[in-house]
């Protein structure tokens, strides 16, 4: 058995409006799901304010630790959009006008509407690549292993979808979910023993309350399908022995 | 003018299921909103996996930096619920049976159903206080400045609501929102100048697209209502000068 090839990522959600509660983030979940699909393991998420020093420190900590870092938020035209310049600072690079980004904005807005503020969106850390924005033109930025995406969910998600094919994942984490109307406290001992027999897998237990009954979904994750399936079969038996019926997947709502 | 009394917090969302994308977190936003209401500033959020070393390191880093730390997730009865024991380790404390938590579970489940697994939920770092769980009995934990809450949103939120009155906030961050159907790139220069005139305030710009038109909401935040109101009046003028009508609050959907 080979060691799995593990490729990791971190997501940094940047914005005072998230930390004040004004805005609900939905980008972390979108990126988490998309990264899992392509074999990249999201190891941590950071939610931080629009403060330059914090952005610089967080980006530098995480780009050293992970294969990929994705940021969301703070790349618009207003004074509070400081992500791009902060990331230039994190890399020790100048923040400069990117000719192709300028051309994109010029074609979109026309010379008379390409305000100085909008031109901020054509600045990148020196030597950065652009990330396509099919929604509102102003591009995202790739510098080193850091991908700088918009905060508006529709734009963030479109940028990510567009660059997904360039990202190189490792061995995918496969998963199989088995559910049952059993109390977590009732099944816990057998479930823990199952986890101990399958140390190469990660078995999670997630309780639910549906139609007036308690139950739980058990998610078996790992890189080897055969092991996952073997554990799932044992789990079916465990659930049956407790007098419940195993359900493949999540129970119907 | 006195310096504002600033009280800060961090939230740690613990769970592999969040990082894999299986589960959407909603607790961060709930806690962010509730903390803002009582004058506690959420300065950062961390999303981390169910890995003991990571929990220990993250809790120890953040409890030293902030007045309050809240964790969510990982306090159920199954083998993957390692938050409580990990926090004991972070504090260098034994993880012990808490007599009052045991009594709560005994009264709820009865002796015959109080499995060894469920009894895990009655263990806390030695000397911890309990946080009331009005939904499903098994308590949260308070140790030092760390509040350990459930991951299931209904339970997490009920625990937080119950303990809110004990939390001591600083000066509240007040806010006023003014919106307008103006492009961010059009208003950005005047908005940046407004921010420069009101350095004690934090002015955020959040674009929207509604009814086929672009606009933005401008959120003015600070601890002094009079300054906020003065900036809002200037902002009304800025929006009018751009030929749009200022809207108090968010525009109607």
Chain B within 8 Å of A191 (Cβ-Cβ)? yes
Chain A within 8 Å of B75 (Cβ-Cβ)? no
Chain A within 8 Å of B144 (Cβ-Cβ)? no
Per-residue pLDDT tens digits for B32-91? 999 999 999 999 999 999 999 999 999 999 999 999 999 999 999 999 999 999 999 999
Matching residue, tokens 């294969």: A67
Give the model's pLDDT for residue A211.
86
CA–CA dist A218, A235 (Å, integer): 9
Cα distances (angstroms) measured from residue A116 to each of A78, A126, B44, B198 = 10, 19, 32, 21
Q: Which two tokens stand for residue A40?
A: 């990249």
- Classified as helix, coil or strand, A149 is strand
Give the model's pLDDT for residue B3.
75
Helix (H) or strand (E) holding B16: helix B16-19
**What is the mean predicted confidence (pLDDT) over B124-151?**
97
**What is the mean predicted confidence (pLDDT) over A128-155?**
97
Per-residue pLDDT tens digits for A6-25? 999 999 999 999 999 999 99
Could you give the domains of chain A?
8-166 (3.40.980.10), 174-248 (3.30.70.260)
Give the model's pLDDT for residue B1.
53
Length of chain B (residues): 253
Q: How confident is the model at residue A190 (pLDDT cuts 50, 70, 90)?
A: very high
Residue of B nearest to A47 (CA): B45
Helix (H) or strand (E) holding B45: strand B41-48
CA–CA dist B124, B136 (Å, integer): 17
Chain B within 8 Å of A239 (Cβ-Cβ)? no
Pair A28, B39: CB distance under 8 Å:
no
Residue B2 has pLDDT above 80, yes or no: no
Give the model's pLDDT for residue A4.
79
Per-residue pLDDT tens digits for B193-209? 999 999 999 999 999 98
List of long-range contacts for B223-229, beta carbons under 8 Å, 24+ apart: B223/B4, B223/B171, B223/B172, B223/B173, B223/B174, B224/B1, B224/B174, B224/B200, B225/B174, B227/B198, B227/B200, B227/B201, B228/B174, B228/B175, B228/B176, B228/B201, B229/B176
Q: Which residues of A touch B198 (CB under 8 A)?
A: none
Per-residue pLDDT tens digits for B138-187? 999 999 999 999 999 999 999 999 999 999 999 999 999 999 999 999 99
Q: How confident is the model at residue A239 (pLDDT cuts 50, 70, 90)?
A: very high
Helix (H) or strand (E) holding A32: helix A27-37
Per-residue pLDDT tens digits for A33-89? 999 999 999 999 999 999 999 999 999 999 999 999 999 999 999 999 999 999 999
- Classified as helix, coil or strand, B175 is strand
CA–CA dist B186, A9 (Å, integer): 36
CA–CA dist A89, B71 (Å, integer): 32
Q: How confident is the model at residue A2 (pLDDT cuts 50, 70, 90)?
A: low
Is B48 in Cβ contact with A46 (below 8 Å)? no
Q: Kind of pairing, strands A8-14 and A41-48?
A: parallel
Is B33 in Cβ contact with A204 (below 8 Å)? no
CA–CA dist A5, A213 (Å, integer): 41
Percentage of chain A lying above the pLDDT 90 cut: 94
Q: How confident is the model at residue B212 (pLDDT cuts 50, 70, 90)?
A: confident
Query: Which of 171-190 (A) contact B at CB < 8 A?
Result: 173, 175, 184-189
Identity of the residue in A47, A48, A115 whose CB atom sits nearest the CB atom of B186: A115
H-state helical runs in A51-176: 52-65, 83-91, 99-109, 116-120, 153-163
Chain B within 8 Å of A40 (Cβ-Cβ)? no
Pair B154, B135: CB distance under 8 Å:
yes
Is A42 in Cβ contact with B46 (below 8 Å)? no
CA–CA dist A57, A4 (Å, integer): 30
Chain A within 8 Å of B247 (Cβ-Cβ)? no
Helix (H) or strand (E) holding B158: helix B153-163
Matching residue, tokens 């080897």: A224
Percentages helix, strand, coil for chain B (3-state, rounded to 5) are 40, 25, 35
**What is the mean predicted confidence (pLDDT) over B7-12?**
98
Residue A3 has pLDDT above 80, yes or no: no
Chain B within 8 Å of A76 (Cβ-Cβ)? yes
CA–CA dist B236, B239 (Å, integer): 5
**What is the mean predicted confidence (pLDDT) over A206-218?**
92
- Classified as helix, coil or strand, A244 is coil
Percentage of chain A lying above the pLDDT 70 cut: 99
Query: Which of 197-236 (A) contact B at CB < 8 A?
Result: 202-207, 219, 221
Contacts of A79 (CB under 8 A, 6+ apart): B188, B191, B192, B195, B203, B205
Is A43 in Cβ contact with B20 (below 8 Å)? no
Give the model's pLDDT for residue B65.
98
CA–CA dist B1, A247 (Å, integer): 63
Pair A194, A166: CB distance under 8 Å:
no
């Amino acid at each position: 058995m080979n060691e799995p090839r593990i490729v990791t990522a971190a997501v940094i959600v940047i914005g005072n409006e998230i930390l004040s509660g004004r805005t609900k983030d939905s980008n972390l979940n979108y990126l988490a799901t998309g990264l899992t699909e392509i074999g990249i393991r999201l190891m941590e998420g950071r939610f931080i304010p629009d403060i330059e020093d914090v952005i610089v420190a967080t980006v530098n900590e995480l780009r050293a630790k992970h294969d990929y870092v994705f940021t969301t938020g703070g790349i618009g035209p207003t004074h509070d959009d400081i992500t791009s310049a902060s990331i230039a600072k994190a890399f020790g690079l100048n923040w400069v006008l990117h000719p192709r980004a300028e051309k994109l904005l010029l074609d979109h807005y026309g010379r008379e509407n390409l305000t100085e503020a909008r031109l901020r969106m054509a600045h990148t850390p020196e030597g950065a690549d652009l990330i396509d924005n099919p929604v509102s033109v102003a591009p995202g930025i790739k510098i080193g292993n850091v991908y700088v995406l918009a905060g508006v969910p529709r734009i963030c998600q479109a940028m990510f979808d567009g660059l997904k094919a360039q990202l190189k994942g490792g061995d995918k984490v496969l998963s199989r979910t088995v559910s049952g109307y059993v109390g977590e406290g009732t099944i816990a001992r057998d479930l823990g023993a199952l986890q101990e027999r399958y140390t190469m897998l990660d078995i999670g237990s997630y309780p639910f309350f549906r139609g007036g009954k308690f139950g739980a979904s058990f998610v078996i994750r790992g890189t080897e399908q055969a092991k996952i399936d073997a554990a799932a079969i044992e789990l079916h038996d465990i659930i049956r022995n407790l007098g419940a019926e195993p359900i493949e997947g999540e129970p119907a709502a």
